[in-house]
Amino acid sequence: MTAFVIRRLIGMVLVLFAITVLTFLIFFATPGVDPARQFAGRNPDPTTVAAVRHQFGLDRPLPVRYALMMKRLFISRDLVSYGNQALEVVPAIRAATPVTLSLVTGAAVLWIVFSILTGVLAVVFKGTLVDPLLMILALIGISMPVFWLGEVANLITLDRWHDTFLFSWVPPNGYVPLTQNPWQWFLHLVIPWLTLSVLYIGFYARVLRADLLEVQSEDFVRTARAKGLSPERVMLRHMLRNSMITFVSLFGLDFGVLVGGGALLTEVVFGLPGVGKLTYDSLQTLDLPVIMATVIYGAFFITIMSAVVDVIYARLDPRIRPT
Amino acid sequence: MVEPGATDLTLDSAPYLAVDEHEVAIIGRSPWYLAWRRLRRNYVALASLGVFLLIVVCCSLAPVYAHHVAHSGPNDVHAGEHVRVSGKLRSVVGGGAVYDPKTNTFDVKPVIYLAPTWWHANGRFVLGTDKLGHDEAVRLLYGGLNSLKIGIGSAFLCTFFALVLALLAGHFGGWVDWVISRFFDLIWAFPVFLLAIAIGTALQVNGFHHFGINIVPGSLWIPTLVISYVLIPYVGRPIRGQILSLREKEFIEAAVGQGAGPLRVMFSELLPNVASTVLVLFTLIIANNIITEAGLSFLGAGVRPPSPSWGNLIASGQDQIQTAPWLCLAPGLAIVLTVLSLNVFGDGLRDALDPRAKVRLEH
Amino acid sequence: MIGKRRWGWLLGVVAIVAGLAMMAAAFSAAGTKSRTPSNPQAFPKLRAVLDTIDYLDPQQAYTGQSWWAMWNVYETLLTYQHVEKAAGYKLVPGLAQSLPTISKNGKVYHFKLRKGLKYSNGKKVLASDFKWAIKREFLSTGQGVGFYTDIAGATAYAAHPTAGGNISGIITNNAKRTITIKLAKPRGDFLTILALIFAAPVPGSTGPAIQNGTIPSTGPYKFKSYDPNHGFVMVRNKYFKPTKYIPRGNPNEVDVSLVGDADAATQMVINGQADYSNGAISPDRIANAKSKGRLILRANANTYYFWMNINEPPFNKLKVRQAVNYAIDRSKMQTLIWGGLGQPTQNVLPPTYPSYRKLKLYTHNLTKAKQLIDQAGAKGAKVTVWARQVSDSVDSATYYTSVLNSIGLNASLTTLPKATYYTTIGNVATHAQTGWARWLEDYPHPLDWFDVLLNGNRITDQDNNNYAWYTNKKTNAEIEALKKAPILTPAVNAKWATVEKQIMQQAPWAPWSNRVFPEFFNKSIPAKCIHVQRLYGIDLARLCK
């Protein structure tokens, strides 16, 4: 196990390094990108631009620039954005993290609860109309692009039916910190939570249903029933626990991706200033320091969750040897 | 039941015994035929395949629709024109604030976009107009054509490369597997949007004309390549997982023992056994890619305006969502319908090919 | 008698106490009570919502929103009057006693500071603080550096800026409160450049590092706090003395929230959570918002245009460029792109300029446009139209492309990200034929337009701002001559109008709009209190409730 952990850690560091180098190279290889020109404002003369370039170290060779940026990001932690020199990158990410965490955690709670409910109900009512109906709903949930669903949600809750009692409580797009006003924090996040979780409820309900059906035919379930245990007890204590392996490992991967900035589309549509929106804004303005920081942040979470999930899989299913 | 007195029973005797018993010949069927039979009986899956093919056909007929029914190309601006709807003359884009130069004030009034005319205007503006006076129905069909081209094309490329890498990783194991798995990690953790924006920008000015490849600026190849690259791990990991479990089986050992080289083992033994998984994944990946392309185009990193795609139609429609909601709703519903039909068919395909499929999609 | 004296003594004490109490009440009322005799329009708090600001550091800030706030915080030697319409463009003394004396050759400017000027921290304002502000501009690489390089010695200083270094062209005397500025060559717009907030004096102890909201101020207000995620607060500067041109300001406090979503900001005003929002309400919501609050449409100095590169075929032919000007339907474009919130234009300068004479050279005529294309032999010519990936740019360029196709050219649209657009079209190697552009004025002088955008002598191979690569011996010479005129007299303005007409007859551009911006107020703000200053927008000093 330790050998595996060490191998994965080395792998993770290599992957992060490769990603940062690639991001750096892609940025400077994109034609028309000239941060010095952006800093020097409008219609400067060439000497000014050259002076600015020198001041920001943009005339040094690429590896030196890369090393300097990494140093300022990790060691001195005073890396500033190309778009606004007063914006420090690390505090910006730190400020955006609680927003993303609020969004993703809330959505995760919703989708865990509802997908388990849906999957279990579909299995319990297998053979009746309920099962295919729930599965069709799940499939529809998977088939809707999350940004479109968000736009439609905004249309309904903020415009068309905003004046009815159903949606008059929905506040305009934005985010209110939990520490500032818990009730407003909650109200601002309800619709985004529902929107983000729809896709995952559909997916996880199907995964759980398939696993439960598989487990249903196993010996230990038959034994439990033969022992005279009630169906609920059989379901909850015996079947669910054994079907959760795939569920848990997939959840780990998805959660990692979302925390790392994968909820970008939801954040953009609902105007939530999280890590995803920060990534999107920095890509629009080609602001390399912020791009680099968000890329590393996201890649870190994704690779670490991927490794954790592999460990869980290996522990729970001895047939699989981790690599 | 065996006849008393029969002495040599071999494996080859079975059909003949059965013929004696039941007067029916047992014909061995390949798993593919059995799968086809199962699929044939799944009416829901067949119906949804039909829906998907219908959508593909409709979108392919976009030029016909544009020319004969709507009399408008996808990029034709009709802003100043008037259309006769149910006998009444309406302007395509009307209203808006009016400036009075004498008092230097504006009389603020909303802009009125022509709503869907359905069948009331002889096929023109069936789905209404957008901000610039385009015929939205024409753009929807052309957009569908672009989205489907990208979705299906990238699915092919993605599946092909993922299959090759998974075969190599699964068969050779060891450090080859380690490198390829880390390569999957690298692609997986890499920001799709950065890549899409950067490559799109880099090729926007001059295109790519090297090594015998010719990509013009604004070509659909750019989002296709980006999406196919980025989703390689999505397909590759499950296949690799399945190959790893196959590797332990006896028939692989037998093949190796017979002196089969790696290529032979990969193509003749492993590949046929993962073929059903690959087929199912391919179908589901098309659906996934259509949604990914929509997301990229929505953010401005996929198909660039004025070329339509379902994603960028939603993006350009969101500013008018209050006064012209059909601009967002139509492309979104088109995506939902297409992806849903693919998903339902993919499910049916999976049930048919391997009723006890153990392969899970990570995403 | 003892009893009477005791009563008298008691009355005396009561009188003194009452007097003290009234004085105390009067003093406290002066600070916090709504209305005082000296300023009947004062009120406690203005709650404003801005979509974004970049900096609150005078040597850094370069957006209209930041300047809206800082105009009343950091004063400059010369400033603009707090009045509406054309008079708002007239330069008046700010921190200086009077307008400067200018040498005959236009290269030397003499200023004298007013007496008794103090910062918001009580320290005296010194003449050398102005020099420090300019040096700080170069030291901190503010975006205004390009404006001050014509000061003698500035270019040398900019190459290696140090805190102790010297700009030979600025000579100050603190005892006499004088500032003398020598230019390397005369600049007709130098006074307006001095009125930019980049040149606001700051204490000599202010370091070059960016400071948002902590630098002591010279204007009617100072910054109390700044949180980049939430907003900032301005309070009165008690050391400020109002002048003939700079009023005290009505709000005692200004609370600014930064809300990027225009719809959320508008909703805050409608709900009464804010008094004013500058958010760009989208055209389809604006009619709805109008009924729920007070909507003002503010013209600002901008021009949106399509440039045509006169070196690249087919736009090297005058007839083709004229055809384009005849072909676009400017009125229709206002409706399509901004929902009607714009004024059609064929001019380079926007109507806010005193020299503006409305040009009517090209009335919309598609047939004539097609004829001109045929005559020029440009039918079927392949054209690439450039735009940046912002929705209004893409929309207007899409319309433009379809118009070019309708008159006989073979046009297609290419879009680029915001960050790379200008460097790409400003690079001669791109051979860009035509595309979208807009210009927002930096300062109210025609040189900010003609010299930067249409002077052939200032064309560069890279980072060029003259996207049409327009050059013409006659107009180039006229622009150079007008550079030497330091004051915009009516005669000078008439000459600018002539130059503009001559340029538009050569049609390097197809200008199409002067955009108008919505400013949204809560109904509690009476219409008579809303004043639009030509340069800085809504005058927060004159708002009242």
Q: How many CA atoms lie within 13 A of C533 on its CB side?
A: 26
**Average of pLDDT values for C426-449?**
93
How many contacts (CB atoms, under 8 Å) link A and B? 133
Please report the pLDDT score of residue C20 as a whole number.
59
Name the residue type at position A267. E
Report CA A42 to chain centroid distance, whole Å. 38
Spatial CB neighbours of C26, under 8 Å, sequence gap ≥ 6: none
Higher pLDDT residue, B145 or A81? B145
- Contact list in A for residue B185 (CB cut-off 8 A) is 11-12, 15, 303, 306
**Average of pLDDT values for C206-227?**
93
Cβ atoms within 10 Å, residue A242: 16
Distance from CA of B296 to the nearest CA of C (A): 14
Cα–Cα distance between C307 and C397 in angstroms, integer? 11
Cβ atoms within 10 Å, residue A40: 25
**Average of pLDDT values for A266-272?**
93
**For C353-395, how does the pLDDT look when each residue is reduced to its tens digit (9 = 90+)?**
988 999 999 999 999 999 999 999 999 999 999 999 888 999 9
Own/partner contacts of C453-461, CB < 8 Å, gap of 24 or more, are: C453/C348, C454/C348, C454/C479, C454/C503, C454/C508, C455/C479, C455/C480, C460/A46, C461/C427, C461/C428, C461/C429
In which element (H, E) is residue A83 found?
Answer: none
**Average of pLDDT values for C422-445?**
93
Nearest CA in chain C to A46: C463
Closest listed residue to residue C91, CA positions, set C199, C179, C175: C199
Helix C391-406 × helix C318-327 angle, to 10°: 110
C18 pLDDT above the threshold of 70: no
Q: Which of B98-107, C396-405, C477-486 has the lowest mean pLDDT?
A: B98-107
Please report the pLDDT score of residue A62 as a whole number.
85
Cα–Cα distance between C446 and C233 in angstroms, integer? 35
Cβ atoms within 10 Å, residue C528: 8
Task: Please answer yes or no on whether C290 and B300 come within 8 Å at the CB atom.
Answer: no
Cα–Cα distance between A42 and B69 in angstroms, integer? 50
Secondary structure of residue B283 in the 3-state scheme: helix
Q: How many CA atoms lie within 13 A of B298 on its CB side?
A: 29
What percent helix, strand, coil does chain A show, rounded to 5? Answer: 75, 0, 25
Cα–Cα distance between B240 and B167 in angstroms, integer? 7
Please report the pLDDT score of residue B257 as a whole number.
79
Cα–Cα distance between A73 and A79 in angstroms, integer? 5
Please report the pLDDT score of residue B144 as a whole number.
96
Q: What is the per-residue burial (b if ≥16 Cβ within 10 Å, else e) of C380-412?
A: ebebbbbbbbebbbbbbbbbbbbbbbebbbebb
Beta strand spans in chain B (E) = 82-85, 88-91, 93-95, 98-100, 105-107, 111-113, 208-210, 213-215
Please report the pLDDT score of residue B22 as a whole number.
56
> Which residue in the block uniquely carries the two structure tokens 């006989």?
C408
Task: Please answer yes or no on whether B363 and A30 come within 8 Å at the CB atom.
Answer: no
Cα–Cα distance between C234 and C225 in angstroms, integer? 7
Closest listed residue to residue B260, CA positions, set B269, B249, B272, B273: B269
**Average of pLDDT values for A170-175?**
88
- Contact list in B for residue C300 (CB cut-off 8 A) is none
Q: What is the mean pLDDT of chain A?
A: 85
ipTM for the complex shown: 0.86
Give percent of chain C above pLDDT 70. Answer: 93
**Average of pLDDT values for C500-520?**
95
Closest listed residue to residue A33, CA positions, set A20, A24, A42, A46: A24
pLDDT confidence bin for A322, thresholds 50/70/90: low
Task: Please answer yes or no on whether B131 and C286 come within 8 Å at the CB atom.
Answer: no
C28 pLDDT above the threshold of 50: no
In which element (H, E) is residue A323 found?
Answer: none
C316 pLDDT above the threshold of 90: yes
A218 pLDDT above the threshold of 90: no
Nearest CA in chain A to B170: A323
Q: What is the DSSP letter of A31?
A: T
Q: What is the CA radius of gyration of chain B?
A: 28
Please report the pLDDT score of residue B275 as a whole number.
84
> Which residue in the block uniquely carries the two structure tokens 């010297």?
C166
pLDDT confidence bin for C302, thresholds 50/70/90: very high
Cα–Cα distance between A247 and B224 in angstroms, integer? 31
This prediction's pTM? 0.88
Task: Please answer yes or no on whether C261 and A271 come within 8 Å at the CB atom.
Answer: yes
Give percent of chain A above pLDDT 90. Answer: 27
> Which residue in the block uniquely carries the two structure tokens 């024109």?
B81
Residues lower than pLDDT 70 in chain B: 1-9, 13-25, 204-206, 354-363
**Average of pLDDT values for A119-126?**
87
Cα–Cα distance between A259 and B174 in angstroms, integer? 32
Distance from CA of B322 to the nearest CA of A (A): 7
Does residue B318 contact residue A151 with C-beta atoms inside 8 Å?
A: yes
Please report the pLDDT score of residue C31 as a whole number.
42
Option in A37, A48, A51 nearest C423 (CB): A37
Secondary structure of residue C20 in the 3-state scheme: helix
DSSP string, C130-178: HHHHHHHHHHTT-TTGGGSTTBTTHHHHHHS--TT---TTEEEETTTTE
Cβ atoms within 10 Å, residue A219: 7
Please report the pLDDT score of residue C505 as a whole number.
96
Retrieve residue B334's tokens: 């088109």
Cα–Cα distance between B262 and B255 in angstroms, integer? 10
- Contact list in B for residue A253 (CB cut-off 8 A) is 362
**Average of pLDDT values for C276-283?**
88
C173 pLDDT above the threshold of 70: yes
- Contact list in B for residue C400 (CB cut-off 8 A) is none
Please report the pLDDT score of residue A146 as a whole number.
94
pLDDT confidence bin for C22, thresholds 50/70/90: low
**Average of pLDDT values for C442-449?**
92
Cα–Cα distance between A254 and A105 in angstroms, integer? 12
C:12-71 residues touching chain A, CB 8 A cutoff: 54-55, 57, 60, 62
**Average of pLDDT values for A276-302?**
88
Whether the CA torsion B261, B264, B265, B266 is positive or negative: it is: positive
pLDDT confidence bin for C455, thresholds 50/70/90: very high
Task: Please answer yes or no on whether A174 and C259 come within 8 Å at the CB atom.
Answer: yes
**Average of pLDDT values for C509-515?**
96
Task: Please answer yes or no on whether A143 and B295 come within 8 Å at the CB atom.
Answer: no
**For B17-74, how does the pLDDT look when each residue is reduced to its tens digit (9 = 90+)?**
655 555 666 777 787 888 888 888 888 899 999 999 999 999 999 999 999 988 888 8
Does residue A175 contact residue A273 with C-beta atoms inside 8 Å?
A: yes
Strands C382-388, C410-416: parallel, antiparallel or unpaired by DSSP? parallel
CB-based burial label for A243 (10 Å; 0-12, 13-18, 19+): buried
B76/C contact by beta carbon, under 8 A: yes
Q: What is the DSSP letter of A73?
A: I
Please report the pLDDT score of residue C13 as a whole number.
61
Cβ atoms within 10 Å, residue C357: 16
A145/B contact by beta carbon, under 8 A: yes
Q: What is the DSSP letter of C84?
A: B
Nearest CA in chain A to C137: A40
Spatial CB neighbours of A1, under 8 Å, sequence gap ≥ 6: A311
pLDDT confidence bin for C27, thresholds 50/70/90: very low
How many contacts (CB atoms, under 8 Å) link B and C? 104
Cα–Cα distance between B289 and B282 in angstroms, integer? 10
How many contacts (CB atoms, under 8 Å) link A and C? 102
Higher pLDDT residue, A68 or C134? C134
Task: Please answer yes or no on whether C287 and B109 come within 8 Å at the CB atom.
Answer: yes
Cα–Cα distance between A172 and B175 in angstroms, integer? 53
Cα–Cα distance between B21 and B40 in angstroms, integer? 30
Option in C290, C398, C430 nearest B132 (CB): C398
Cα angle value C18/C22/C27 (rounded, 5°): 150
Cα–Cα distance between C174 and C68 in angstroms, integer? 30
Which of the residue ranges A72-86, B12-26, B230-244, C490-504 has the most confident prediction, judged by mean pLDDT? C490-504
A178 pLDDT above the threshold of 60: yes
Task: Please answer yes or no on whether A295 and B191 come within 8 Å at the CB atom.
Answer: yes
